Homo-oligomer: A and B are copies of this chain.
Amino acid sequence: MIHSVAILGASGYTGAELVRIIATHPSLRIAALSADRKAGMQMADVFPHLRHLDLPTLTTIDQIDFDEIELVFCALPHGLSQALVRDLPRSVKVVDLGADFRLRDPADYKKWYGLDHAAPELQPEAVYGLTEFYRDEIRGARLVAGTGCNAATVQFALRPLIEGALIDLDDIICDLKNGISGAGRSLKENMLFPERSTDVIGYSLGGKHRHLGEFDQEFSKIAGRKVEIMFTPNLVPINRGIHAACYVKGDPQAIHAALAARYADEPFIVVLPFGQAPGTGHVAGSNFCHIGVIGDRKPGRALVISTLDNLNKGSSGQAVQNANLMLGLPETEGLMLAPVFP
């Protein structure tokens, strides 16, 4: 059976990645594509790499007949999904790739995003979209809130360690190296090629990055107490990829064992042999996450490194994985594309 889906915000990078994945997904059909500012254009003109596909013309959201749509992927700038989802027919399932429904408490949304929640009555039914940890809830959900790409990367490294009480909760430092596509396709001077191609620089430093809202929510919930990590994202000149180096206090071998056990049956999370380091180049273009654990010369210190493709496993791949569950399809369907290297 083929399921009809719509992609809202199809002119951004996560929108394009959804189209790329669905292009070879056997059970999904793209019935509508929206892009407000580029409505009326062909996808081939917005993203020439998708030129070989037979795709609907870009429209405004208003022009979509949602009666024909079983599931909607919202790849919109944050702040736009809440009212939109509220007004959709209840029969339409929603996977939101943005930040609008990630935080359980509307007050947290206000704190981190500076906006009043436009649909607080919907928030309780939104399921947090970290598939490997919310699989059962996602299966039955109407509304799934995709995670932040950084938030996914770091949680894959740390959740089992917090659950297992294996690390000191007051001394967690996460230093990330982030591909530039994470900034999206919007026009910013500091995202021009010459600005980024030879530079490495941190941003949203000192506890200001919005994904901290997700970390605080999830880690505190697991730990049963307040947990605040240090979190530093850094721009590096690659297109796709997040490399999260998580410095923790705990026994490296026990940490490795816990991660290996937790993810043994997960199709997309690969824990490397102890001591091996994962690289972003080994997951780019795919829905896989590689995790490595390295012990330090200082006893009781470990480095847990998690890498994934921000556009895929960190966003659009996760979204399709969740959609598969929501539609009763095999979870891995359409997602076993191997990483592209070199």
Residue ranges of A at the interface with B (Cβ–Cβ < 8 Å) = 13, 16, 19-20, 23-24, 47-53, 171, 173, 175, 177, 180-181, 185, 187-189, 191-203, 205-208, 212, 228, 230, 232, 234, 236-241, 243, 245, 247, 268, 270, 272, 275, 277-286, 288, 290, 294-298, 301, 303, 305, 307, 336-342
Contacts and interface: CB of A to CB of B under 8 A. Distances in A.
A298 B342 contact: no
Contacts of A294: 202, 205-206
A233 B261 CA distance: 28
Contacts of A202: 245, 277, 294, 303, 305
Nearest to A249: B171
A205 B193 CA distance: 22
Nearest to A279: B201
Contacts of A192: 180, 185, 187, 191-193
Contacts of A175: 175, 245, 247
A294 to B, nearest CB: 5
Contact of A199 (B16, B51, B280): B280
Given A177-B234, A195-B281, A200-B280, 15 more contacts: A24-B336, A47-B341, A175-B175, A185-B195, A187-B188, A192-B192, A193-B237, A193-B239, A194-B342, A197-B237, A198-B238, A199-B280, A232-B303, A237-B238, A240-B342
Given A247-B247, A337-B337, A13 B194 contact: yes
**Which of A20, A49, A197, A232 has the largest number of chain B CB atoms within 10 A?**
A49
Contacts of A16: 341
B297 A228 contact: yes
Nearest to A341: B49
Contacts of A53: 338
A27 B78 CA distance: 43
A189 B240 CA distance: 18
